[in-house]
Chain A
Amino acid sequence: MAMAGPIIEVNGVNKAFGANTVLKDVSVQVAQGEVVVIIGPSGSGKSTLLRCLNGLERPESGEIRIEDRSLLDAGAGITEIRSRMGMVFQQFNLFPHLNVLQNITLAPVQVRKLAKGKAEELAMSLLGKVGLREKVGQYPASLSGGQAQRVAIARALAMEPRIMLFDEPTSALDPEMVGEVLTVMKELAAEGMTMVIVTHEMGFAREVGHRVLFMEQGVIVEEGTPQQLFDAPRQERTRAFLSKVL
């Protein structure tokens, strides 16, 4: 995990939707290879923070640097920064008019300008990795939630990203399908992928996270290793939240 500077650097970010402030002067750094898990009650701003990291939301003020490049000043260059950063959504957001193979190869071919054959090879190896090689020709509508989310992870990985962002990746899944998605994420973490994960899966956060951030009302209330945060929370608000969810 040793590296010169952080791969993600967030400084004093503020974000409001109308009169509703969702992020208040948030600062956080993520080192290369680090797995950071963000927990907190709904409406705490954790998803918004994650979405700010790849420019899906634009903060009113503050600074976000990805691999030492300013995201907010990137202009059209934002597509290049995004192409090196995968994102997995709660609702999968697979492209329903494309089959599994096309879902995965579209961006590598169009954005990375990879040859179609190469992209398909890559797609097959990623499908193998998430255990879905046999679904290659199917359309998203015929996949279960767990399968769809694993395809979505493969789709993001096909861009060979340096960072993976996960926005509540298991919240829309039936309970019996949560495990298969978490397994894929654990493997990724074990390979040294830099990951920022918003989740309600406390067991997963404890097992896989290098660092856990607890957010509430737009601020990072407390952060630490999973042991510190789950076993010996220092803040009363953290304790109150954990007592509700654990």
Chain B
Amino acid sequence: MHFRWDIIVDYLPLLLKGAALTIGISALAIVLGSILGLAVGFGKMSSRPYLSWPMSGYIHFFRGTPLYVQILIVHFGLVPACIGHTDAVIAAITALSLNSAAYTAEIYRAGIQSIDKGQTEAAQSLGMTGFQTMRFIILPQAVRRMVPAFGNEFVVLIKDSSLVALIAAPELMYWSNVMRGQYLRVWEPYLAAAFIYLILTYSLSKLLGWLEKKGVAG
């Protein structure tokens, strides 16, 4: 087989443009998903059933159904219902954020519940409120333990973002599909895409590894 480097060079600007959108979509979904996940996680931990049940249901739904299906529901159902028409990028960010929130919610919950009960008791015995205990004692300790799990989740999210090519959000996978269509070649577009994904996920895990080390050191 003759590997045509020249078509990769030709398509590189579009692939990189796609990669930029992949980064943009993933970064926004990471931020929005983490914020929403915090609310969902706390909701699930709540002792009030009208909060914990719906949040528990949310987590079950988004972890128990394929992301593929969720993207289609958001693209053809949720987004049009909210803004009157659909938009691939908005749908992509929404679907990935909603999905990621379900996973990050569980990361928050596991991190918070891993902190020894004695820490809460000591804080309470000093007269701290529940909020102060969470803010000054539990979360700072829990967040350090959550870093590796968040790292995994973010890497998964970058890879999963390739699924939004399905609704023609013009990200990396979308442009590799276009490239395959134009040149009727398989190896070049998909290996190029795979390589770019690898660079993205590898850089992210290096960054998170560095953060983790920094966090452990104090």
Binding site for B on A (CB under 8 A): 54-56, 76, 79-80, 82-87, 89, 91, 93-97, 106-107, 110-112, 139, 152, 155-156, 159, 165
Contact = CB atoms under 8 A, between A and B. Distances in A.
A159 B127 contact: yes
B182 interface: no
Closest 6 CB pairs of A and B: A83-B127, A107-B126, A87-B125, A93-B122, A93-B118, A111-B127
A82 B126 contact: yes
A80 B118 CA distance: 20
Given A91-B118, A95-B137, A97-B141, A110 B128 contact: yes
A111 B126 CA distance: 8
A239 B218 CA distance: 52
B126 A156 contact: yes
B141 A96 contact: yes
Contacts of B126: 82-83, 106-107, 111, 155-156, 159
B24 interface: no
A112 B116 CA distance: 25
Contacts of B118: 89, 91, 93
Contact of B124 (A82, A91, A95, A155): A82
A56 B137 CA distance: 17
A43 B160 CA distance: 53
Given A107-B128, A111-B126, A159-B127, A93 B136 contact: no
B132 A111 contact: yes
A92 to B, nearest CB: 8
Contacts of A112: 127
Interface string B80-119: 0000000000000000000000000000000000001011
A145 B116 CA distance: 18
Contacts of B141: 95-97
A156 B137 contact: no
14 contacts: A56-B125, A76-B129, A83-B127, A95-B137, A95-B141, A96-B141, A97-B141, A106-B126, A107-B123, A111-B132, A139-B218, A152-B122, A155-B126, A159-B126
B127 A107 contact: yes
Given A97-B140, A97-B141, A111 B121 contact: no
Contacts of B124: 54-56, 79, 82
A86 B125 contact: yes
Among B118, B122, B124, max chain A CB count under 10 A is at B122
A83 B126 CA distance: 5
A95 B128 CA distance: 13
Contacts of A96: 141
Contact of B121 (A80, A93, A106, A110): A93
Contacts of B218: 139
Among A85, A86, A106, max chain B CB count under 10 A is at A106
Contacts of B128: 79, 107, 110-111
Contacts of A91: 118
